[in-house]
Structure 1
Amino acid sequence: MKRVDVPLAVHRMQKIILPFVSGFLASLFFHESTLALLHAAGLIDPSGFSTDPFLPLGLPTFIANAIWSACWAVLMAWLLRVSPERIAPWVQAFVFGGIVLTAAGVFVVDPLRGIWPSGNMLPRLAVGFAANAMWGWGALVFMRAFMASHEEE
Structure 2
Amino acid sequence: MQKVILPFVSGFLAALFFRESTLALLHAAGLVDPAGFSTAPFLPLGIPEFIANALWSSVFGVLMAWLLRVAPDHSAPWIGALVFGGIVLTAVSAFVIDPARGIWPSGNMLPRLAPNFIANAIWGWGALVFMRAFMAGSASRE
TM-score bracket, normalised by the shorter chain, equals over 0.9
Query: What code does the residue aligned with 1:35 have?
Result: L
Q: 1:130 aligns with which of 110, 118, 130?
A: 118
Q: Show structure 1 runs of 5+ residues with no match.
A: 1-11
Larger Cα Rg: Structure 1 or Structure 2?
1
State how far apart, in whole Å, the 2-side matches of 1:128 and 1:42 are: 15
The residue aligned with 2:11 is: 23
Matched-pair identity in %: 76
**Structure 2 residue 127 is matched with structure 1 residue 139:** yes
How far did 1:124 drift? 1.1
Q: Show structure 2 runs of 5+ residues with no match.
A: none
**Structure 2 residue 37 is matched with structure 1 residue 45:** no
Q: 2:52 aligns with which of 64, 67, 70?
A: 64
TM-score (norm 1): 0.90
Secondary structure of 2:79's aligned partner:
helix
**Structure 2 residue 93 is matched with structure 1 residue 105:** yes
State how far apart, in whole Å, the 2-side matches of 1:42 and 1:97 are: 23
**Closer, same or farther: CA 82–114 of 1 in aligned 2, 3 Å:** same
State how far apart, in whole Å, the 2-side matches of 1:151 and 1:31 are: 29
How far did 1:151 drift? 5.2
The residue aligned with 2:79 is: 91
Query: What code does the residue aligned with 1:55 have?
Result: L
TM-score (norm 2): 0.97
How far did 1:105 drift? 0.1
State how far apart, in whole Å, the 1-side matches of 2:62 and 2:140 are: 24
State how far apart, in whole Å, the 1-side matches of 2:95 and 2:134 are: 32
State how far apart, in whole Å, the 2-side matches of 1:85 and 1:19 are: 16
Secondary structure of 2:25's aligned partner:
helix
Q: Which protein is richer in helix relative to its size?
A: 2
Secondary structure of 1:115's aligned partner:
coil
85-94 vs 141-150, greater mean Cα deviation: 141-150
Secondary structure of 1:44's aligned partner:
coil
The residue aligned with 1:9 is: none
**Structure 2 residue 69 is matched with structure 1 residue 81:** yes
Matched pairs, number: 141
State how far apart, in whole Å, the 2-side matches of 1:141 and 1:151 are: 17
